[in-house]
Each structure stands twice: as structure tokens, then as C-alpha cells.
Homo-oligomer: A and B are copies of this chain.
Amino acid sequence: MKAPDWFWKGLLNSYTQIFFSENKLFAAILIPVSFIDVYAGLFGLISVLFTNSVAFIFGLDPQKIQKGYYGFNSLLVGLGLGIQFEPVFILLFIVLLASILTLFISVTLEGVIGKYYLPHLSLPFVFALWMLMLSTREFDALNLNERWIYTLNDLYIIGGSSLVSVYEWWNQLAIPSPIKSYFLSLGAILFQFSVFSGVLLAVGLFIYSRIAFTLSLIGFFAAWAFYGLIGAEISEVGYSYIGFNFILTAIAVGGFFIIPNIYSYLWAIILVPLVAIIAISVNTVLSVFQLPVYALPFNIIVLVFLYVLKFRTGEQSRLFTWFVQRNSPEKNLYSFLNYRDRFYSYTRGSLKLPFFGDWKVTQGHNGAYTHKDDWSHAWDFEIEDEYGKTYQGSGDYPEDYYCYNKSVIAPADGTVEDVIDDVEDNVIGQKNLDENWGNTVVIKHSEFFYTKVSHLKKGSLKVKRGDRVRMGDILGVCGNSGNSPYPHLHFQVQETPYIGSKTLKHPLTNYYAGSGS
């Protein structure tokens, strides 16, 4: 991965990830909106750039930096600090420290929550901003922001009187109170407390995903109805930054983490009152410390619900979780439907073993009882002679082994997704645990349907990334690279294109993994 990738894509995704998106057009709306309060926007941007850079220098996974997993929580903390305080120089110092703190909390929660195959969502933002709000009260060098009254001036400087009048027009618009609250709640996600910001965000959300937009309305107005029913103070939903919890929960459960269908929409509605109960009770506790709840209720309910889904026994029905996140409800839905049609037909016969002649299965997949194998199948193959031996002579050299140097072929038509070809072959008895899989080819046959052959001989690979292959095409020859003390061929079916990914490298992937382990 080239540096610009983690830098530029990481920057954009740190904005869109707030809405579970990687849509660049959406980013082009979110970034300007974050600058409606100029200094908030500025400190938000600084937070993203600094966090991603520290993460890269520190040696964290560039792929995650690029996805915006670390940046988006820091962005929210930066926005929150920027809107709260006057932009003195010392604030810059605090924002940089806050970025490091948020990054560390992100990584820690990724590790802890990731063990349960759950995403850490915006919990790092919540915890980090609480810490900062509690401590900065004691910092005499920081002064509370009083530029709320100057927003119009700022806007005038940026966009002239036309921008000011657009802004004013929206805020003073005689739209019904709940709709106004909806827009304010949307804007509050980026700490931009104006109807104008909310309208722009609604447009962006609509562009990114019609499903997500619909769900945002459903979530918000279900909450509105619930507050009316129980007689709670309705204005809180709109004005105390609680409202966006309902919006984000509905999007997450209704269409993002679950394949959107009638049942996902139903649960999105059922969960709204639970979010309200959490929000009100947490608010009662936090008010003692004069802290807002931020996005905590959304985080709690979504994490708990996703976790509970894993405890369903039997096959998934009604509520389906995805295997590979496509970062859009629409794409997830499409992939799911596509997958359901194609996956089974493929596994029912159209796959050939990746070699000519008779080899022998010498080992089932190690760790056959772990969750990973619920969806993958792996075998090790060797060639044996009539006496059951796998080599001639002393067996001290790779050449003694029957399978060594034998051709490895494509098990079905597809596209080469990934290739490793630079791992030295081992001497017999040695294992290379640092490069576990050795020389490897991953082929994509269809959505969610990949095969991988590993431990090939160095220098033998005939294909490169992007090549189209037909069933039976030669990929290379069997070798002894990677975690392979003697020549053999590892072959497996998988739903993702990653090579030997450890679970934590893809915390958002494949989190459906059987009952709670």
C-alpha cells in the first residue's frame, strides 16, 4: 500500500466512516459542513491528519488507517474541542494530545471489543471527549468559545451575504418543530448546531444511500412518537444532542450491519425506545458530572444487539448479517442476494481439486472447531506411494517428496486476487512462522467465493494479480515455503480476498461466527 493511500483515502474515510460510508461524494459534503463553524472544522481536520500520521509512524495497520477506523473518532473529538473553546494556541497543543489519547483508546477498544467480533463504533470518541471535557475545566489557559454569536460573520467572510441569507432562511424557516429537530439532530453529529447544517447532511445522506436516509427518518420519528407516548420532555430529543442516537441506531441496525429487509426495519423501530431508555438513564447519571451522553446510547444498543444476534442457534433467518462489509446498505443487499444465488451452486460440484492425479488429504484444517471454519474448508494435500510414504530416499531434501515440483492448477474460473511470490522455500524440518502461508495465490470465483493455494515453490508462480484464469490453468508448482516443515499443498475456500488474515486485522469482517465464541 502506498503512503498516499493511507493518507488521502484515510482523510476522506475519516469523515464518511461516521455514517459507515466510504463514499467520496458524501465526503465532499461532510467536510465543508464541518467547516460551517470554521475553527471546529479546522481542529477536526488537524485531528484527523495528526491521528492518521501518528498511527502510521507508530506502525499500526495502514489498511485500517486508510479505512478511517482511527481517524473518525479523533475527528469527532477535534470537532467537539474546536466548538467548545476559543482557538488559542494552547488549544492546538491540547487537540494534538487529544488525538493521541483518542487513537490509543481506539486501538484498545478495537482489541477488546474486536475479541467479540464487534466493531468499536464511536465509543473511543465518547470516552476521550468525556475525559477532555472533565479535565479542561481546570485549564485556565482555555476559554469557552463565545463565537456562537459571530457565526454569521464567519459565514459572511466565507460565502458573502448570499450564504448568510441561505443560512438564516433555513434556521428561521417556519417548518414544523419535529422536522426542525430532525435537522438539528443530524447537524449535531458534526457538532454543527444549525438547521442549515442538518439540511446539507440530509442531502449527503440521501446521495450516499436512500435506504440509510429513509432509516434516519424512521429512527428519529419513532423516537419522537415514543417520547410523546411516555410523557418525557420532547425537546430534549432535538436540542441536547440525543436525537442523532436514534438516527444512527436505525441506520446501523436497519440497513448497515444487517441486510436491509422488513425485519431489519422492524427491529430498527423496536430498538428506538430502548435507545431512549438508555439515553435518559445515562443522562441522569452524567448530569451529576455535567457531561452530555454524546453517542453512548447508540453504541450500547447497537453493540448489544449485534452481539445477541450471534447467539441464535440454527441457521440465520429473517435477520442476516453480511460476510464482507461493502460500506453501503444498497451494496450489502445486492451482494447478499447475489451471494445467495451463486454460492451454493459453486460449492456443489463445479470446483476441482487444485492438482492433477491422486493426492492424499493428510490433514484437515487445524483448528477445525473454531468459528473461522464455519465458513471455510481447508485441506492439506501430499502424494503418497503405494506404501503410504510421501517421499523416497531419506526425506531430508524437498526433492525426495513426491508432491514437490508437481503442478498446482486453478480449481475453477476466476480472477487472481492476490499473489505472494517472494518467500524462500524451507529446508526440511524448518518452519517459517513469520510468513505463515508462504508463496500463495488467491483466486476470486464470484462474490464471497475465493480459493487459496499455499506453500508454493518460490519462483514457480505463473500468474500475477488481476490475471483471468480458467479452471485447470497452471498457477505454479508445489513447494515448501511458509509454515511447512516438508512439501505439501494447502488449499482452502474462503469468502474474503485476504491472505491468512488474523481476525483482528479485519474487525468488521465476518463478525457472524456462531454462538458467542
Q: Which A residues form the contact surface with B (CB < 8 A)? A: 58-62, 90, 93-94, 97, 100-101, 103-105, 107-108, 110-112, 114, 116, 130-135, 137-142, 229-233, 270, 273-274, 276-278, 280-282, 284-285, 288-289, 304-305, 307-308, 310-314, 317, 353, 358, 360-361, 364, 366-369, 373-374, 377, 379, 386-390, 394-396, 429, 431, 433, 436, 483, 485-486, 502-505, 514-517
Contact yes or no, B369 A436, CB < 8 A: yes
A290 CB → nearest B CB, Å: 9
| CA A367 to CA B370, docked complex, whole Å | 10
Knowing A59-B312, A232-B139, A396-B358, the reply to whether A431 touches B368 (Cβ < 8 A) is yes
Contact yes or no, A364 B317, CB < 8 A: no
A270 CB → nearest B CB, Å: 7
Contact yes or no, A140 B230, CB < 8 A: yes
Q: B residues within 8 A CB of A304?
A: 104-105, 108
Contact yes or no, A361 B289, CB < 8 A: no
| CA A386 to CA B353, docked complex, whole Å | 29
| CA A135 to CA B283, docked complex, whole Å | 9
8 Å CB contact of A107 from B60, B101, B308, B358: B308
Contact yes or no, A104 B486, CB < 8 A: no
Copies of this protein in the complex = 3
| CA A390 to CA B361, docked complex, whole Å | 12
Contact yes or no, B229 A280, CB < 8 A: no
**Closest chain B residue to A93 by CB distance?**
B229
Interface centre among A280, A353, A377, A483, by most B CB within 10 Å?
Answer: A280
A478 CB → nearest B CB, Å: 17
Q: B residues within 8 A CB of A58?
A: 308, 312
Contact yes or no, B108 A483, CB < 8 A: no
Q: B residues within 8 A CB of A504?
A: 311, 515-517
Contact yes or no, B483 A368, CB < 8 A: yes
A145 CB → nearest B CB, Å: 17
Q: B residues within 8 A CB of A141?
A: 229-231
Q: List 28 A-B contacts (CB under 8 A).
A: A59-B314, A61-B515, A90-B229, A90-B230, A93-B229, A97-B273, A97-B274, A107-B311, A108-B304, A131-B281, A134-B282, A137-B284, A138-B233, A139-B230, A139-B232, A140-B232, A141-B230, A358-B395, A361-B429, A361-B486, A364-B483, A366-B366, A367-B367, A368-B483, A374-B433, A388-B388, A502-B515, A505-B515
Q: B residues within 8 A CB of A132?
A: 277, 281
Contact yes or no, B485 A429, CB < 8 A: no
Contact yes or no, A138 B232, CB < 8 A: yes
Contact yes or no, B280 A101, CB < 8 A: no
**Closest chain B residue to A503 by CB distance?**
B517
Q: B residues within 8 A CB of A100?
A: 270, 274
Given contacts A59-B313, A107-B307, 7 further A-B contacts (CB under 8 A): A103-B308, A108-B307, A111-B307, A288-B289, A358-B395, A361-B485, A388-B388
| CA A343 to CA B277, docked complex, whole Å | 52
Q: B residues within 8 A CB of A112?
A: 116
Instruction: Give 6 nearest A-B pairs by CB, closest first.
Output: A140-B231, A134-B281, A59-B312, A135-B280, A141-B231, A135-B281
Q: B residues within 8 A CB of A284?
A: 134-135, 137-138, 289
Contact yes or no, A111 B516, CB < 8 A: yes
A418 CB → nearest B CB, Å: 17
Knowing A139-B231, A288-B288, the reply to whether A516 touches B280 (Cβ < 8 A) is no
Knowing A132-B281, A387-B389, the reply to whether A377 touches B137 (Cβ < 8 A) is no
Q: B residues within 8 A CB of A388?
A: 387-390
Contact yes or no, B317 A59, CB < 8 A: yes
8 Å CB contact of A368 from B104, B274, B282, B433: B433
Contact yes or no, B285 A134, CB < 8 A: yes
Contact yes or no, B377 A431, CB < 8 A: yes
Q: B residues within 8 A CB of A353?
A: 429
Contact yes or no, A364 B431, CB < 8 A: yes
Q: B residues within 8 A CB of A282?
A: 134
A214 CB → nearest B CB, Å: 24
